[in-house]
Chain A
Amino acid sequence: MNSSKKLGLLLITPAAIVVVMLFLVPVVLTAVFAFTNMSTSTGISGGAYQISPNALQELRDHYDMPSVAERLSQSGFAVDEPGLAALGKAGIDADIVTELRGHIGETFAARRDAERAIRNLNHRPSLREVKQISDQFNRSIMNARYDSKAALLAAVASVMPNLSGAEHQAIIAASYTGWTWTTGNFRRMASIPGTQRSLVNTMVYVAFTLTLFNIGFAMVLAITTFYMPSRAAGFFRGVWLLPRISPPVIYVLLWKWLAWDTGFLSVFLGRFGIHSRNWMLDSGTNAWVFVVLINGFVGASMGMLIFSSALQAIPRPLLYASEVDGASRWQQIWHIIMPQLRWPILFVTCYQTLSLLTSFDLILLSTNGGPGGSTEVWALATYHTALNNYAGNLEYGYGAAMALVLVVVGVFLSLAYLRLFNYRDLVAKPLIEH
């Protein structure tokens, strides 16, 4: 290995580790999660086995084992020999065990009854001992939680010894609380109406923000500042960079102040007899106008800077010459300036499409997808599904499936852009080989 290789590996490793761990591994995990039913109730990090009400229902509905379900659901406490033996092992005071022996054969339907009897023993066991004792006499496995299949089956065998292998498998599957593999997420995605809606919303969002602001208005800004004295141009560029440098939380707050019921617009228009209202959430259309404005004001600055620097590259004499020839400003823009912007426009379009597709923080903070889900774009729907909703029902698996769609779109688009912008030139071989 030559020295440049060694040094290269040394210098790139830290960056590679960070990127792999917190970027590539999550991509892979997202793809994996997309094929699971992971949610709040299954948990992420594995599960246990529990004969819960849910499990009984599964046994009845999916495995057609109502009688087994019925038996497993029975609860009961019994003072018996094995229980007494276990108490000795658990370190319960021998006097208590002796006294309990006098109650052998007694059964109780509910925990409360069993514990009442235990507590009233002459030896007055402590709360902790009462719990230990009642555990040993518990002859039902309803609601008990087992960490392994073996433990579950052993417990099941204690109440229903003669079950077949298939029945054991059914009980294992029905009582498992953790996540399982499934392709159901994609089937669900294809079948529910919300999917189509978020897709359409996303397209509306990207198309309008991109054409009106990231390209259109950015061009207006670049060209108008181009025709200004440099001091004025600097001022306006500074003003239009404010939305980009302001943190989203405060930037969106300013829009809320402008648009809310008691905000600037309402008060101002109130002077002209217009009812105050929440302008941002008044209707789907209003919400869209604001979403596009909020994102567009941020997005315009990138195009503005890129287009401006492209315009700086126009040879001055060309402009003066055209003016001498009597070209109007419009003609100058159309014939000299626009051709200069062709590639920058293509670049901004590509770059911003991707970032618009995946960004949702400004929408989250402003309309949060409302009203009535009319501004819920795909990325925001993903966030709501996987991490943030009122019922606290976080569907990691389904959310990951939704994220995976974006990941795939993102990878395809970026690969396409790489081709478009001549990837080969960018990776020209180093001139010093060793």
Chain B
Amino acid sequence: MMDMSGQWRALAVAAMLAVSAGAASAKDVTITVWAGGTGPTDAYRLDAIEIAAGLLTREAALQGEALTIKVEKRAYPGWDDFKQALTLSAEAGTAPDIVASGHEDIAPWAQSGLIVPIESYIDLDSWPINDIYPNLMQIASYGGVLYGLPQDAESRPFFFWRPHLKAIGYSDAEIDALPAKVKAGAYTLANVLDDARKMQDKGVVKPGYGFYPRPLNGPDYWQFYRSFGGEMDDPKLGKLVFDKAAMGRFYKFFVDAVAAGVTRKNHIGTPFDQWYTEVATGKAGIWQGGTWHYARYTGQEGLKDFFGTVQFSLVPAGDKAGKPNTLTHPIVYLLTKHNDKAKMEIAAKLIEIASEPRINALHAIRSAHLAIAKQESNIPLYSNDRWTREATARLLPFANAMPNNPNFGVYWNVMWKGLESAWTGQKTVEEAIADDETELRSSLGDKIVIR
């Protein structure tokens, strides 16, 4: 049997050793990072922080500091549960150190004190921050203060299945010219419904598959509002804007699509997995998706010849009042508020390093997102990729973003509820708009301009 006192002595020595080692400037830090809306192809959103930790450890070693960083990663595939978990854990004081979320969360989270401005922790003039596109930096700011660093960019274009366009009489040249036609406003959402109808009449797609938009809520739907001339906010007043007429025309477009039989009345709620498979296999004629879907179509869904089978364009204009447009919804790295300032500094440095073009290009290519920084296009991995190159040129110059406003979430939920009820036939467009207005007036008061 072992001598107990001997064991104790050994333990005590070990403990002392551990303590004294700690005193000699060794530092163990655990950084937790969460990301919302992050599937398997988006893994670099989290891995980039880990790569950054490796680099920072080396930098620290050169400065004589034994810094070890453990990165704990958590990806949430959806948004609802992610935001619930994050908000509650922040209230409980156990928020992760770094969060990758949509930029529209900046305003409410800044107000509640969940996040702190990253500009207090980093040097805005240093590389790679000084290379990030200014419009993305703008999107990551609220009230003139930079809260986060953009993690990626994307846009939410229209896709067309080339063989189906051909089946209804388009020539190859016409299909190639389609994006330009959309951009010029010569091909509108009304044409989308016509062509979708023709595809169904030809029998190349099943009823309800002519026009096949995103099957659940998303920033995407604001694009249609803009296509009909709607504005989400008035930057001068700093207020949200609810344009009844534009919102009505936008709702009506979907009601018309259902009436024409090109979109299913029960389309919303279609499982996203099924949706991906269908659009990537030519079950749908025209659909609206995201630039990052490219990774899914050509990867998991096995679409071989993307450019030979799919055309893409801006979201067409709805009518004279609106313009062809698209929306970019950058994910931003945000720094949460903690008491341990030194740890927050490390977290900020990790975010900074993770924004390195070469690291970001890994994410861009793996997940088919678009670059955040100018120099990224000088990295062959990125610039040799046909998809990112074409999508950047064709879409990004026309991309808007949702406003950073603490009340935008309320507006968004109301917009979606209204659309859903009109689309599914629970209410007429007029009723839906009237109900939206009542709800916005009673919940936001004069924080929103209704016109």
Contact = CB atoms under 8 A, between A and B. Distances in A.
Interface of A: 39-45, 47-48, 50, 52-54, 56-57, 61, 75, 111-112, 115-116, 119, 127-128, 130-131, 142-143, 145, 177, 187-188, 191-194, 260-262, 275, 277-278, 281-284, 367-368, 370-374, 387-395, 398
A54 B111 contact: yes
B80 interface: yes
A335 to B, nearest CB: 46
A143 B107 CA distance: 12
B81, B113, B120 pick with most chain A CB within 10 angstroms: B113
Contacts of B238: 53, 56-57
A277 B274 CA distance: 12
Contact of A193 (B107, B109, B123, B438): B438
A392 B443 contact: no
A390 B80 contact: yes
Contact of A115 (B111, B123, B345, B435): B123
B420 A188 contact: no
Interface string B105-135: 1011111111001011111110000000000
A252 B450 CA distance: 42
A75 B421 contact: no
Given A43-B112, A388-B84, 20 more contacts: A52-B111, A53-B238, A112-B125, A115-B124, A142-B143, A188-B442, A192-B442, A261-B274, A281-B266, A371-B266, A371-B420, A371-B424, A390-B216, A390-B412, A390-B413, A391-B83, A391-B408, A392-B87, A393-B412, A398-B443
Contacts of B207: 275
Nearest to B147: A143
Interface string B46-80: 00000000000000000000000000000000011
Contact of B144 (A45, A142, A278, A283): A142
Nearest to B349: A127
Contacts of B420: 370-373
A372 B111 contact: no
Contact of B81 (A127, A192, A262, A388): A388
Contact of B113 (A177, A191, A393): A177
B394 interface: no
Contacts of A391: 83, 104, 408-410, 412-413
A193 B123 CA distance: 50
A interface majority secondary structure = loop
5 contacts: A56-B238, A283-B424, A371-B268, A373-B421, A390-B79
Nearest to A40: B108
A39 B207 CA distance: 43
Contacts of A191: 438, 442
Contacts of A388: 80-81, 84
B91 interface: yes
B271 interface: yes
Interface in B393-436: 406-410, 412-413, 416-417, 420-421, 423-426, 435
B265 interface: yes
Contacts of B81: 388
A41 B108 contact: yes
A314 to B, nearest CB: 48
Nearest to A387: B84
Interface residues of B, number: 71
Contacts of B110: 52
A23 to B, nearest CB: 20
A119 B123 contact: yes
B167 interface: no
A143 B421 contact: no
B409 A392 contact: yes
Contact of A372 (B117, B125, B423): B423
Contacts of B202: none
B435 A131 contact: no
A220 B442 CA distance: 48
B311 interface: no
A278 B269 contact: yes
B125 A143 contact: no
Contact of B439 (A40, A45, A143, A193): A193
B142 interface: yes
Given A127-B123, A194-B417, A372-B425, A143 B113 contact: no
Interface in B204-249: 206-207, 216-218, 237-239
A390 B144 contact: no
Contacts of B438: 191-193
Contacts of B447: 57
Given A43-B114, A390-B79, A61 B446 contact: yes
A7 B192 CA distance: 78
B270 interface: yes
B266 A44 contact: no
